[in-house]
Amino acid sequence: MNSEHPFAQYVRILGKGRKGSRNFSMAEAETVMSMIMAREVTPEQLGAILTLMRVKEETPEEVAGFVNAIRKTLHDDKNFPANHPEIQIDWSSYAGKRRHLPWYILAALLLAENNINIFMHGASGHTEGRIYTRDVLKQLGVDVSTSLKEAAEQIKTSGFSYLDMENMSPRLQEIIDLRPVIGLRSPVHTVARLLNPFDAEHVITGIHHPAYHPMHQKASLLLNHKHAAVVKGEGGEIERNPDMDCLVKTLHGENLADETWPAMFARRHVKPGTLNPAELTTVWRDESSNEYGEAAVIGTAAIVLKMIGKADSFTTAETLANQLWANRNRDRLSAAA
């Protein structure tokens, strides 16, 4: 008789039916993800876990356990930079954009040139028809990093670095790439946003579905993040839609709070018919104007400025963000080709 696989017990915890199944504890979730990262599970077991997690949806405890396991693999890597610079903001970018250009990229670059160190990480190409951070940065002439070590060096020199998941954790990228195979989004899309590999003091995440708002906030608390903000951003990215109220759930120490940033315009703008990333460069360089886009940059920067304590109110944060935008280095981005 064949003995049971060690991972089978964890599949059973989630899959015993309506009355027999339950959620993982934080410790169990850490064990589960540790086994997945170490390739101690079969493809069938991985598919089963991903599907069961998607059906029931992950809890804050499960997300925190998964994050802890993945962070250990990042920190145990021989190439992890032991002496990395202090990172002020860990900024995740996993959704991609399809309705508007990724104006949040300009907000991040604006903050970085004002001595606010930002480590941005994300995934590319997992959903057809979306524009991803890595590809846009390359079009803007901004170098992207290929390892955590290289990211640390870039932050030392420019205050900003972006690292794609395929280079940060190839194993996680493999799981993300299963989406068109399984047909479902996996919990990795949630977990990756909270990895914070450099232990940044401030962690900011973007979500699209409102149900994930409190889950990210509570998971950040379990992960002992000092400061965190969860933004219901445009398209699921960390980007304030200036045409709508923007809910931001914050964490400072152990204090959880909600902030609702009001719409910046009385009427909504017409969604653009086409998206040309070159417009990001021309707007930055003052070679063209885009009322919606510039407000998205300023509004996004304002949320971050308040989160990190550079402003104590919506008004002062937006005033400061406007000043930074007006005084930006217009030559930072090369002229569009």
Q: pLDDT tens across 41-78, in order?
A: 999 999 999 999 999 999 999 999 999 999 999 999 88
For residue 160, what is the enclosing H or E element?
strand 160-164
Q: What percent of the chain shows pLDDT beyond 90?
A: 79
149, 81 contact by CB (below 8 A): yes
What is the average pLDDT across 252-277? Answer: 93
H/E stretch holding 232 reads strand 227-232
What is the rounded CA–CA span in Å between residue 283 and residue 290? 7
pLDDT value of residue 335: 63
- Taking each helix axis from N to C end, the angle separating 104-112 and 291-307, rounded to the nearest 10 degrees, works out to 50
Element (H, E) at 122: strand 118-122
- Rounded to 10 degrees, the C-alpha dihedral 81/231/303/119 comes to 10
226 Ramachandran zone, left/alpha/beta (phi>0; psi -120 to 50) = alpha
Ordered DSSP codes for 302-313 = HHHHHHTTS-SS
Residue 297 near residue 264 (C-beta atoms within 8 A): no
- For the chain, state the CA radius of gyration: 20
Structure tokens at 283: 């707007």
Q: How many CB atoms lie within 10 A of CB 177?
A: 16
Beta-bridge partner residues of 247: 260
Tell me, what amino acid is at 44?
E
Output DSSP code: residue 127.
S
- Confirm if 292 and 100 have CB atoms less than 8 A apart: yes
Contact (CB, 8 A) for 119 and 93:
no
- Residue 264: C-alpha distances to residues 121, 291, 297, 298 (Å): 28, 11, 12, 10
204 token code pair = 């900011």
Instruction: Give phi and psi for 204, each to the nearest 5.
Output: -120, 130
Domains of the chain and CATH, by start: 8-76 (1.20.970.10), 89-326 (3.40.1030.10)
With a cut of 70, say whether residue 1 has pLDDT above it.
Answer: no
Contact 279, 131 (CB under 8 A): no
Residue 205, pLDDT > 90, answer yes
Structure tokens at 221: 């608390």
H or E stretch including 268? none
Residue 126: the pLDDT is: 67
Higher local confidence (pLDDT), 125 or 199:
199
Nearest CA to 174 out of 197, 192, 196, 193 is that of: 192
pLDDT of residue 218: 95
Can you give the pLDDT at residue 213?
A: 85
Confidence of residue 180 (pLDDT cuts 50, 70, 90): confident
User: Is 201 in contact with 228 (CB distance < 8 Å)?
Assistant: no
Token couple for 38: 């170490």
Instruction: Give the model's confidence band at 336: pLDDT under 50 very low, under 70 low, under 90 confident, else very high.
Output: low
Q: Give, rounded to a whole angstrom, the gap between the first and last alpha carbons of the chain.
A: 67
- Does residue 295 or residue 335 have the better pLDDT? 295
Residues making up the chain, counted from first to last: 337
pTM for the model? 0.94
